[in-house]
Chain A
Amino acid sequence: MADAFSETDPQTNTGLLTDRNVRLAGQVVAVVFAAAVLYLLYRIASLVDLGLLETIFPRFVDAYLLVLFIFVVGGVLSVILGVFVGLGRISRSTLTRGVTVGYVEFFRGTPLLFQLIVIYYGIPTLFGGPDFPIQNWEIPAAILGLTLNHGAYIGEAIRGGINSVPDGQMEAARSLGMSYIGAMREVVLPQAWRNALPAMGNDQVILIKDTSLLTVIAVPELLSQFRDVYSTTFDPWTPILLVAVAYLCLTLPLSYVVTYFERRASPGGDNE
């Protein structure tokens, strides 16, 4: 045993790669990085046009609210869809399982941008072309695309969550006379939910960031506003600043909400 240790030891703790040196190197990199960022921010700050900032602020507020709306609707719908997808993936019916797998593979296997284009440009031609009845199709198309795409990811998260609940839970519930659906709803899903929360929270943050793709289907979201402003003023940094702040004002609160739910979902609200 002692020999085994002395054989592997030289690789890990002699020469330059000692724990101490690695830690030191990490700190040096961090300092250099922080200095570079601060310098860039200082340069950018001098380029921001406060007058322009004031004029364009309202349109970014509108865009922010629109993205928030699309995220909330798309997020809620994708979670609802995801629960059904997760249940479909573990169904005993080959047909149900097959259809669900096909759905998941398609929406995870093709780019969201492509899916948005299919929905925005493709669907109206199937239902009346120029007479397509839905006005402002870009907003429903955006919500539909994000829901279908993220429903697939959330479905996988829920399936993973369900699979990590021990079989004994379903058996105990069924042995008490509960139906499959009743046992799922009361016993398995609440536990699966908790297991799936980190992955689902992660996905919802990605959903927020994915709204930036909606610029290609004419949704007046944050990046569209940037392009509008930039194409007339040729000032990139002032609108960029607003875009960055707007995205962080969406993603950071969401992270806190997810953490809150994770804490609340653990039994007794404390450890485990």
Chain B
Amino acid sequence: MSDPQLVFDGVNKYFGENHVLKDIDLDVEDGEVVVVVGPSGSGKSTLLRCTNRLEEIQSGEIRLEGVSLTDPETDINLLRQRIGMVFQSFNLFPHKTALQNVTLAPRKVKGIAADDAEQTARDLLQRVGLEQKADSYPHQLSGGQQQRVAIARALAMRPHVMLFDEVTSALDPELVGEVLSVMRDLADEGMTMLVVTHEMGFAREVGDRIVLMADGEKVEEAQPEEFFENPETDRAKQFLSKFLEV
């Protein structure tokens, strides 16, 4: 099977009457960073949430490394271990320290011994620059620090693909950079990433491909240079002009 690592094949998703994903086809190759942009309500977050089945799709298929994610027979808990997700609102576990946030799933899901899980967690916290904050609780950390812990937490499961759902949108502007820089390092290390963001600078610099979504449809898919310099569709031109105005 020479499927790309992550494949969306004619994906349709409805919320009641509302058709939020319309026939989405998308391939993500191993080590690729695909950035999904688009106005709010365009379905880009829903696309990510369907990728680890936080939302169910109504038709089509999503495959990770050739295995159907959307088949009801699939052990979704097993597959989710290969897909890391980082959320807009961090969703750190408030009753656990940064270190415990990172070690929880490896210990409980993979059954890794406490010592080993802790060692890995400390390494990961160091990678996101927070080794000193291991014993802090989330409410003692800034938004940027919380989000970096959340990234370390997702990485602790050694995922093959990482999903980033507007991870800087809830941050104070001066904290955005530290999170993007962690993501940039990840991309440089060859992590396969599907990123929903409004940070156009990041999209252009780090993205291997840009996907524009609007009204539940994939409107345009292009290399970053091409997308930002020479958009094909009117919808893309319109979308980009809004960012240039600011």
Binding site for B on A (CB under 8 A): 166, 168-169, 171-179, 182, 186-187, 190-191, 194, 267-268, 272
Contact between A176 and B153 (Cβ–Cβ < 8 Å)?
Answer: yes
Q: Knowing A171-B54, A267-B139, A272-B139 touch, does A176 contact B157 (C-beta < 8 A)?
A: yes
Q: A179's closest neighbor in chain B, by CB? A: B77
Contact between A168 and B153 (Cβ–Cβ < 8 Å)?
Answer: no
Q: B94's closest neighbor in chain A, by CB? A: A267
Main secondary structure of the interface of B (DSSP, over half): mixed
A176–B159 Cα gap in the complex (Å)?
9
Binding site for A on B (CB under 8 A): 52, 54, 77-78, 80-81, 83-85, 87, 89, 91-96, 104-105, 108-109, 137-140, 150, 153-154, 157
Chain B residues closer than 8 Å to A182, beta-carbon distance: 108-109
Contact between A177 and B105 (Cβ–Cβ < 8 Å)?
Answer: yes
Among A174, A179, A194, max chain B CB count under 10 A is at A174
A272–B139 Cα gap in the complex (Å)?
8
Smallest beta-carbon distance B203→chain A, Å: 23
Contact between B78 and A186 (Cβ–Cβ < 8 Å)?
Answer: no
Chain B residues closer than 8 Å to A187, beta-carbon distance: 93, 104
Sort A-B residue pairs by CB-CB distance and give the 3 closest, nearest first: A172-B91, A176-B105, A177-B81
Chain A residues closer than 8 Å to B81, beta-carbon distance: 176-177
Main secondary structure of the interface of A (DSSP, over half): helix
A267–B141 Cα gap in the complex (Å)?
13
Contact of B87 among A171, A177, A272 (CB under 8 A): A171
Smallest beta-carbon distance A25→chain B, Å: 42
**With A186-B108, A267-B137 already in contact, 20 other A-B pairs whose C-beta atoms are closer than 8 Å:** A166-B91, A168-B89, A172-B91, A172-B92, A173-B93, A174-B77, A175-B83, A176-B80, A177-B109, A178-B105, A178-B108, A179-B77, A182-B108, A187-B104, A191-B93, A267-B95, A267-B96, A267-B139, A272-B94, A272-B139
Q: Knowing A174-B54, A178-B109 touch, does A268 contact B140 (C-beta < 8 A)?
A: yes
Contact between B95 and A175 (Cβ–Cβ < 8 Å)?
Answer: no
Contact between B77 and A178 (Cβ–Cβ < 8 Å)?
Answer: yes
Contact between B94 and A172 (Cβ–Cβ < 8 Å)?
Answer: no
Contact of A175 among B80, B89, B104, B137 (CB under 8 A): B80
Smallest beta-carbon distance B161→chain A, Å: 12
Chain A residues closer than 8 Å to B95, beta-carbon distance: 190-191, 194, 267
Contact of B154 among A171, A176, A267, A272 (CB under 8 A): A176
Q: B80's closest neighbor in chain A, by CB? A: A177
